[in-house]
Amino acid sequence: MKKNNIVLVGGGSTWTPGILKAMTTHLDAFALNRIVLYDVDEKRQEVIGEFAKILFKEEAPEVELIYTTDKEVAYKDVDFVFCQMRTGGFAMREKDEKIPLSLGVIGQETCGPGGFAYGLRSIRDMEEMVKDVRRLSPDAWILNYTNPAAIVALALDKLFPEENRILNICDQPVNLLRSFASLIDEDVNNLESVYFGLNHFGWFTEIYDETGKDRAPEIKEIVLNGGFRPVDAEQRDQSWLETYAMVEDMLVDFPEYLPNTYLQYYLYPEYKLSKLDPEWTRTDEVRIGREQKVFQECRRIVENGTAKDSKVVHNDAHGDMMVEVAASIANNLRKTFVVMVRNNGIVANLPADSMVEVAASLGKNGPAPYAVGNIGTFYKGLIENQYAFERLTVEAYMEGSYTKALQALTLNRTVVDAKKARKVLDALIEANKEYWPELK
């Protein structure tokens, strides 16, 4: 088995320890030669990087591990790029959430105006990253987990239409699948799902077990009679527990398919707005929760010189999925994952150039998506509206168009009112002067 060279972009992220732990436990499936952690924030990178050195010294000493803020070092001679950058950091995420809320509109990291703002910031850095990687590692696979993945995926497809080694992927479908599996006492690895939509905007239609039986009807009944919680509920903040609980509400109203949790913002925008606090958002929760806990634990591990006693640093669905996706490509395993791909008829009655999220097998030649066929009028209408928002957002970036930015926000189901859209857009332009192209 070939030993791979990896760069993890956004190496100072709180998700990095879990990804690294997953790498150490999946070495039999995904062999490693060198790991580079790369981040533009030197202080964050150093804390995670020093922890990483201890982890790999204890669990995989044969693997070279370095961390850097130099992209010339980071992207040189790599086989895989795991990308999870956050342009603007938590300071800008806070603005993404609180500015819309202050103007009477949902403020959320990837949905609505917050996702719009984050997307316009992310595109520039993602474009630069792809160009840098292709200059230093022409054949590397770029596995992108950067949010908002729907907007980023569409932008990269427009900017690099001939690329066939960029794969955009999100962990929420597998997080949901793990939680569904726990409800029916099944191993998630024995389940195969049928899924369609856009990123953070999709539905599971069937979930098959090893015998070929569709377990989706059973899962729906369990949720409708007992609610829904994530399988790792004890590790989740309160906002995530509330998010998963909304699956029951969505099934009561729309029982045909199992929904992605993010659909709650689009189906119930007024209700969700009434539950959000403009002074205390998810960013605040993460800062005093996951952010603080992970960095404190990494500092403790560095001080003690061992990670063996850590109860905080462990495999999670996010890390496992990232490694398993890379292993399936590197070793031509052709395992099934839910990924984002150019539609081209996969969902027959959606635009060909939309970036749909569907099940696909992954091998050395990338994703081979499974056809979905035609979808119903309700889902088609919702998706076409959301895709129009995403496409106008990308075009606003590429053309520097204020009009298209305003059109995008006006279309979004969390806004819908053009006067609100203009107020939010103008406030976000002011907040993002350092990051956005000028919109005229």
Q: What is the DSSP letter of 169?
A: -
- For 197, the 3-state DSSP assignment is strand
Q: In terms of DSSP H, where are the helices of 227-316?
A: 238-253, 263-267, 269-275, 282-286, 292-304
CB-count burial class (<10 Å; 0-12, 13-18, 19+) for 158:
middle
Task: Quote the CA–CA distance of 286 and 91 in Å, as a whole number.
Answer: 12
Instruction: Work out the number of other CB atoms within 10 angstroms of the CB of residue 13.
Output: 23
CB-count burial class (<10 Å; 0-12, 13-18, 19+) for 419:
exposed
Task: Quote the CA–CA distance of 6 and 23 in Å, as a whole number.
Answer: 10
Nearest to 205 by CA among 147, 142, 254: 254
Catalytic one of 171, 244, 268, 397: 171
| Tokens, residue 319 | 């890390």
Catalytic one of 38, 75, 262, 397: 262
Task: Quote the CA–CA distance of 164 and 141 in Å, as a whole number.
Answer: 9
Q: What is the DSSP letter of 235?
A: G
Using CA of residue 23, residue 25, residue 27, residue 29, what is the dihedral sign? negative
Q: What φ, ψ does residue 189 adopt, rounded to 5°?
A: -70, -15
Cα–Cα distances (Å) from 409 to 52, 249, 275, 360, 413, in that order, read: 41, 26, 21, 31, 9
CA angle 16, 18, 20 (to 5 degrees): 70
Q: Could you tell me if 361 and 335 are in contact, meaning their C-beta atoms sit under 8 angstroms apart? A: yes
Beta pairing, strands 355-363 & 335-342: antiparallel
Q: In terms of DSSP H, where are the helices of 137-262?
A: 149-159, 172-183, 216-226, 238-253
CA angle 440, 161, 403 (to 5 degrees): 15
Active site residue 262: yes
- For 134, the 3-state DSSP assignment is helix
Active site residue 171: yes
Q: Could you tell me if 325 and 362 are in contact, meaning their C-beta atoms sit under 8 angstroms apart? A: yes
Cα–Cα distances (Å) from 379 to 198, 307, 358, 376, 422, in that order, read: 11, 47, 14, 6, 28
Active-site residues, by number, are 171, 262
